[in-house]
Homo-oligomer: A and B are copies of this chain.
Amino acid sequence: MSQKSHDAVEQQDENQLSFDLIEAQYQLKAGRGSTQGKSVLVLVSGIELAGKGEAVQQLREWVDPRYLIVKADVPHPLTREQPFWQPYAGFVPAQGQLTLLFGNWYSDLLATAMHVSEPISVEQFKHYVEDMRAFEQDLQANHVHVVKVWFDLSWKVLQKRLDKLDPTVQKWQQLHGLDWRSRKQYDTLQRIRQYITDDWIVIDGEHETARDQNFARHILTALKQPLSEITPKPITGRWKKSKIPHQLLSFEQDGLAQAEYKAELKDLSKQVAQALRKERRNVVILFEGMDAAGKGGAIKRIIKRLDPREYDIYTIAAPEKYELRRPYLWRFWTKLPKNGGIAIFDRSWYGRVLVERLEGFAKPYEWKRAYAEINRFEQDLIENNTVVIKFWLAIDKDEQAQRFKARENTPHKRFKITDDDWRNRGKWDLYLQAAADMFEHSSTESAPWHIVASNDKHTARIAVLKHIIAQLKATP
Contact = CB atoms under 8 A, between A and B. Distances in A.
A274 B168 CA distance: 6
B61 A309 contact: no
Contacts of A166: 270, 305
A1 interface: no
A291 interface: no
Given A19-B412, A273-B168, A103 B309 contact: yes
A257 interface: no
Interface string A152-190: 000000000000001011011000000000000000000
Contacts of A277: 168, 171-172
A79 interface: no
Contacts of A239: none
Nearest to A300: B61
Interface in A282-331: 296, 300, 303, 305-310, 312-313, 315, 317, 320, 322
B72 A415 contact: no
Nearest to A52: B308
Interface of A: 15-16, 18-19, 22, 26, 53, 56-57, 60-62, 64-66, 70-72, 74, 102-103, 166, 168-169, 171-172, 270, 273-274, 277, 296, 300, 303, 305-310, 312-313, 315, 317, 320, 322, 339, 346, 410-412, 415
Contacts of A60: 313
Contacts of A303: 57
Contacts of A66: 315, 317
Q: Which of A64, A317, A415 has the most CB of B within 10 A?
A: A415
B313 A64 contact: no
A125 B318 CA distance: 44
A102 B306 CA distance: 14
A53 B57 CA distance: 50
Given A15-B411, A166-B305, 14 more contacts: A15-B410, A15-B412, A22-B412, A53-B307, A53-B309, A56-B308, A62-B412, A64-B415, A70-B308, A102-B308, A103-B309, A166-B270, A169-B305, A171-B277
A308 B53 contact: yes
B19 A102 contact: no
A399 to B, nearest CB: 21
Contact of A72 (B103, B308, B322): B308
A103 B312 CA distance: 13
Contact of A415 (B22, B71, B317, B320): B22
A412 B26 CA distance: 13
Nearest to A56: B308
Contact of A65 (B15, B103, B312, B346): B346
A61 to B, nearest CB: 7
Contacts of A169: 273, 305, 307
Contact of A412 (B18, B71, B274, B310): B18
B313 A65 contact: yes
A90 to B, nearest CB: 10
A65 B66 CA distance: 38
Contacts of A16: 412
A103 B70 CA distance: 32
Contacts of A65: 296, 313, 315, 346
Contacts of A309: 53, 72, 102-103, 172
A16 B273 CA distance: 32
Kindly list the 4 A-B residue pairs having the minimum CB-CB distance in the complex, ordered from nearest.
A72-B309, A18-B412, A19-B412, A53-B307
Residue with the greatest number of chain B CB neighbours at <10 A, chosen from A65, A172, A273, A412: A412
